[in-house]
Amino acid sequence: MGALAGKVAVITGGNSGIGLATAKRFVEEGAYVFITARRQAELDKALSLIGENVTAITGDLSKLDDIDVIAAAVKAEKGVVDIIVSNAGFTEQAALEAITPEHFDKTFNLMARAPVFLVQKLLPLMHRGGSIILVSSAMHIMGIPNHTAYAAAKAATRSYARTWAAEFKGRGIRVNTLSPGVTDTPILDSQSELAGRDEVVKMYLDMIPIGRLAEAVEIANAAVFLGSEQSSYVTGADLMADGGVGQV
């Protein structure tokens, strides 16, 4: 029997990268998974890769009406949620002098505001307890140029985990952040706008004690731990699956 047998999970940004790898691992461990993304074509590809025990819901998490649609679809199909993985995100670098209100709002709406209302709308479905996993980033404790809005939004999720772990303590709901290091996913390409991809990767490799980028499945394995009873005594914590980049 898998570590997540019988569980129902909602994974945002489940169409690629860490979200897709997590959805695949959750299904392998026995969960039924709902994945969300903005584009149906990408969700269709993800569905073919996951294969079974999965439903795709199209939605833009920066729009509150779309979060309502996601919650309603989960309620209609399963009526319960055991695990929330708030993973949807992007990286858009900008030096402080170049930051615009549009860049700031785009970043915070998806990665700081959306998790709040996603959890709020799904919370009534967590009536048998469960686990909330907020995907943050090692950058929330680091100082890396050109990531003002991104790092701050990820730091917000770390604060949410502490607050909600205390707030939900009587409901049997655990809340933790999962903070990946530099992971070899499509989102890495978006970090290469100010320099070539090879230069960006080299910069990070010089900082990572393990000496390589993470594979998405390695972060997904950490999510399985946080979503399962293997982490039954873990709440309010920050699991740094970062190759040591934020630790030394």
At 131-186, the pLDDT tens digits run 999 999 999 999 988 899 999 999 999 999 999 999 999 999 999 999 999 998 88
The predicted structure's pLDDT at residue 74: 98
Whole-model pTM: value is 0.95
Average pLDDT, the chain: 94
At 79-125, the pLDDT tens digits run 999 999 999 999 888 999 999 999 999 999 999 999 999 999 999 99
Tell me the average pLDDT across 42-47.
Answer: 96
In a domain, 222, yes or no: yes
In a domain, 172, yes or no: yes
In a domain, 247, yes or no: no
The predicted structure's pLDDT at residue 201: 83
Of the listed ranges 11-20, 79-88, 98-107, 191-200, the least confidently predicted one is 191-200
CATH classification of the domain holding 170: 3.40.50.720
Sign of the dihedral defined by the CA atoms of residues 221, 226, 231, 232, in that order: negative
Q: How confident is the model at residue 68 (pLDDT cuts 50, 70, 90)?
A: very high
The predicted structure's pLDDT at residue 193: 59
In a domain, 66, yes or no: yes
- Is residue 191's pLDDT more than 70? no
- Is residue 190's pLDDT more than 70? no
Of the listed ranges 7-16, 29-38, 44-53, 89-98, the least confidently predicted one is 89-98
Tell me the average pLDDT across 4-8.
Answer: 98
Q: Residue 243 CA to chain centroid, in angstroms?
A: 18
Tell me the average pLDDT across 200-228.
Answer: 93
Tell me the average pLDDT across 181-208.
Answer: 78
CB atoms within 10 A of CB 196: 10
The predicted structure's pLDDT at residue 237: 98
One-character DSSP codes across the chain: --TTTT-EEEEETTTSHHHHHHHHHHHHTT-EEEEEES-HHHHHHHHHHH-SSEEEEE--TTSHHHHHHHHHHHHHHTS--SEEEE-------B-GGG--HHHHHHHHIIIIIHHHHHHHHHGGG-BTBEEEEEE--GGGGS--TTBHHHHHHHHHHHHHHHHHHHHTTTTTEEEEEEEE-SB-STHHHHTTSSS-HHHHHHHHHTT-TT-SPBPHHHHHHHHHHHHSGGGTT--S-EEEESTTTTT-
In a domain, 45, yes or no: yes
Q: How confident is the model at residue 38 (pLDDT cuts 50, 70, 90)?
A: very high
Expressed as residue numbers, the domain containing 99 is 8-184+216-240
In a domain, 192, yes or no: no
In a domain, 90, yes or no: yes
150 is catalytic: yes
Choosing from 32, 150, 160, 204, the catalytic residue is 150
In a domain, 25, yes or no: yes
Tell me the average pLDDT across 62-78.
Answer: 98
**Domain count along the chain:** 1
